Chain A
Amino acid sequence: MSYRITTDCVNCWACEPLCPQQAVLASKPHFVIDPARCTGCEGEFAEPQCASICPIEGAILDPSGAPVNPPGSLTGIPPGVWDQTRERIQAR
């Protein structure tokens, strides 16, 4: 079971050089993970490297199909409080 990249990927290249298995492939319309090569970084790193640098929420799914970086996890702001945050920032 491998990690997977969704259509949300913006082809930013961050993950490609980090993969210890060279399983991330630059591709169109977006990067892909070769399922035959991906080991989920098992035995090599505590966390999957591609998902640990990916800047896009929801772009990488774990083997169960769940987003490793769910909405709100990368901005540090849960979607429920975006409106409040926006108000605070706009007051600057």
Chain B
Amino acid sequence: MELKVVDSSGVREKIRDHPCFSKDAHHHYARMHVAVAPACNIQCHYCNRKYDCANESRPGVVSELLTPEQAVKKTLAVAAEIPQLTVLGIAGPGDPLANPERTFATFAALTEKAPDIRLCVSTNGLMLPQHVDELCRHNIDHVTITINCVDADIGAQIYPWIFWQHRRIRGAKAAAILIEQQLMGLEMLAERGVLVKINSVLIPGVNDLHLAEVSRIVKQKGAFLHNIMPLIAEPEHGTFFGLMGQRAPSAKELHAVQQSCANDMEIMSHCRQCRADAIGMLGQDRHDEFTLERIEKLEIDPVAAMARRAQLRAQIEAARTAKSLQPVLVSLTSLTQPKPGVGGSPAAQVGRAKLASSAASFRVALASSDGQRIDQSLSEVEVLRVYQVDGQSSRLTETRPVSGLPSHLSQDPVAEAKVTEVIKLIKDCDALLCTRIGFNAWQRLERQGIRPLSAESGLPIKVALRQAHADWHTDTEGAANAASRALSA
């Protein structure tokens, strides 16, 4: 799943400690969802309301419905045990604004007892305009609206009906009302300075060609971020799409649509489509640790817990600032090892041709386990992330899985086969960036005109790419100068 962010330093400051919105924050901060909102007022073809099933783990699914009192107690308990907690969200399992009393009772109590915790809400948007003012009375600065289309005929293929003004409304008429309310709610929130993220579910053959238009409209109406997520439609989930055999998009299709929506927004890539009762850091769910039974027994001092959170945040921010000031990329030109492949070989010529053709923009494949930092060697890499780099900006364009080979094996034949596969996967790239690259692999990459670059483990991708681009630019100019000298000689 990828997120696009409208570039603005004010927004950056607001999302700095938000694990769902900030590219870097999810390494440092935690979030939790409380499942207080069971009822829903629309039907989506990708949802099955039978959520109370302990065997499932997917968005919208929870096994424990909380009262607002229980939710407040749980939040205070989690915030005491996980001081990294910065954000409390209500995301269902139904629609938070179809359960306004429960949602706002929870928010009101938390605004009072844990004013440092930010509050978020995710909604289908149908009841949003009615509740904008009430939302703004609480400690809320982020709202997510799921908008899958801005065309009622496409909407009719996604939403069979809505419940509106005491009646069930069907088809395109229902979709038209829903879209109108969503866009009105978005505009109202943007006017009040609330950050609004739009989630869209990519449904092949339904809204794939339409999401670029959705992106354009929501951006125009003030959304700061568009998150395009793949449809989840397994038959065993019992959703209409699952039962009818509607397929999910491939990773390639998802990327293509994200690209078509990209315009001038930055792309992010860490949304995990969390459960409505998720707790902790993204990707490390701890909701099992906080059972109602256990929470009831806990004695919490909310004031002391808040002080601990403030202290931890100060430490985290100091460390983040310090880290961003340390460039640690090891540049190719600084290596003393004699560089194989340099000279008049055909391979070097391939490399120079690529180099000259992509002076302004180049493509880098890199090895990262989490999409944030360079942290794997060539022999460990499981997914190659391909970035397009130009000037000061870099954009994740594709992820390419490296198949089969177990990463712990480093015997020669296996390593050799892995290098072969990696080279095959990144033939169109100009460089490969990872923590370690063996000498033989180094030579083989150069022979293909792919520049091997090694970075210190843990270096943020963004920093590494910036450094790589600077080196690349210098070398490209050097090559161009050499070429012009050769011509004039």
Q: Give the B-binding residues of A (Cβ under 8 A).
A: 10-14, 16-17, 45-47, 49, 52-53, 55-56, 74-76, 85-86, 89-92
List residues of chain B with CB within 8 A of the CB of A53: 39, 41, 163, 168
The answer to whether B49 and A56 touch across the interface, beta carbons within 8 angstroms, is yes
The answer to whether B49 and A55 touch across the interface, beta carbons within 8 angstroms, is yes
From known contacts A17-B99, A74-B161, infer whether A45 and B166 are also in contact, taking CB-CB under 8 Å: yes
The answer to whether B40 and A14 touch across the interface, beta carbons within 8 angstroms, is yes
The answer to whether B244 and A12 touch across the interface, beta carbons within 8 angstroms, is no
Counting CB contacts under 8 A, is B104 at the interface?
no
The answer to whether B240 and A14 touch across the interface, beta carbons within 8 angstroms, is no
The answer to whether B167 and A46 touch across the interface, beta carbons within 8 angstroms, is yes
Q: Give the A-binding residues of B (Cβ under 8 A).
A: 38-41, 43, 49-52, 65, 94, 98-99, 101, 160-161, 163, 166-168, 170-171, 204-206, 240-241, 244-247
Of A14, A75, A85, most buried by chain B (CB within 10 Å of CB) is A14
Residue of A nearest to B41 (CB): A53
Tell which of B50, B51, B171, B246 touches A89, judged by Cβ atoms closer than 8 Å: B246
18 contacts between A and B (CB under 8 A): A11-B52, A12-B38, A12-B40, A13-B39, A14-B163, A46-B167, A49-B166, A52-B166, A52-B167, A53-B39, A55-B49, A74-B160, A74-B161, A90-B244, A90-B245, A90-B247, A92-B205, A92-B247
Distance between Cα atoms of A11 and B39 in the complex (Å): 10
For the complex of A and B, 8 pairs with smallest distance between CB atoms = A92-B205, A13-B38, A12-B49, A10-B50, A90-B245, A53-B163, A13-B39, A89-B244
Distance between Cα atoms of A69 and B168 in the complex (Å): 11
List residues of chain A with CB within 8 A of the CB of B43: 55, 74
The answer to whether B39 and A17 touch across the interface, beta carbons within 8 angstroms, is yes
Residue of A nearest to B37 (CB): A13
Tell me, rounded to whole Å, the shortest Cβ–Cβ distance linking A15 to chain B. Answer: 8
Distance between Cα atoms of A75 and B50 in the complex (Å): 16
The answer to whether B241 and A89 touch across the interface, beta carbons within 8 angstroms, is yes
Distance between Cα atoms of A13 and B40 in the complex (Å): 8
Distance between Cα atoms of A38 and B147 in the complex (Å): 36
List residues of chain B with CB within 8 A of the CB of A11: 52
From known contacts A46-B166, A55-B43, infer whether A13 and B94 are also in contact, taking CB-CB under 8 Å: yes
From known contacts A17-B39, A47-B168, infer whether A76 and B160 are also in contact, taking CB-CB under 8 Å: yes
Of B51, B101, B168, most buried by chain A (CB within 10 Å of CB) is B168
The answer to whether B161 and A86 touch across the interface, beta carbons within 8 angstroms, is no
The answer to whether A52 and B40 touch across the interface, beta carbons within 8 angstroms, is no
List residues of chain B with CB within 8 A of the CB of A85: 244
List residues of chain A with CB within 8 A of the CB of B101: 17
List residues of chain B with CB within 8 A of the CB of A92: 204-206, 246-247
From known contacts A75-B160, A75-B240, infer whether A12 and B50 are also in contact, taking CB-CB under 8 Å: yes
The answer to whether A14 and B50 touch across the interface, beta carbons within 8 angstroms, is no
Tell me, rounded to whole Å, the shortest Cβ–Cβ distance linking A66 to chain B. Answer: 17
From known contacts A89-B245, A92-B204, infer whether A12 and B51 are also in contact, taking CB-CB under 8 Å: yes
List residues of chain B with CB within 8 A of the CB of A13: 38-39, 65, 94, 99
Residue of B nearest to A76 (CB): B160
Tell which of A14, A45, A86, A91 touches B39, judged by Cβ atoms closer than 8 Å: A14
Tell me, rounded to whole Å, the shortest Cβ–Cβ distance linking A10 to chain B. Answer: 4
Tell me, rounded to whole Å, the shortest Cβ–Cβ distance linking B224 to chain A. Answer: 31
Known: A10-B52, A12-B94, A14-B41. 12 other contacts (CB 8 A): A10-B49, A12-B51, A14-B98, A17-B39, A49-B166, A52-B166, A76-B161, A76-B171, A89-B205, A90-B245, A90-B246, A90-B247
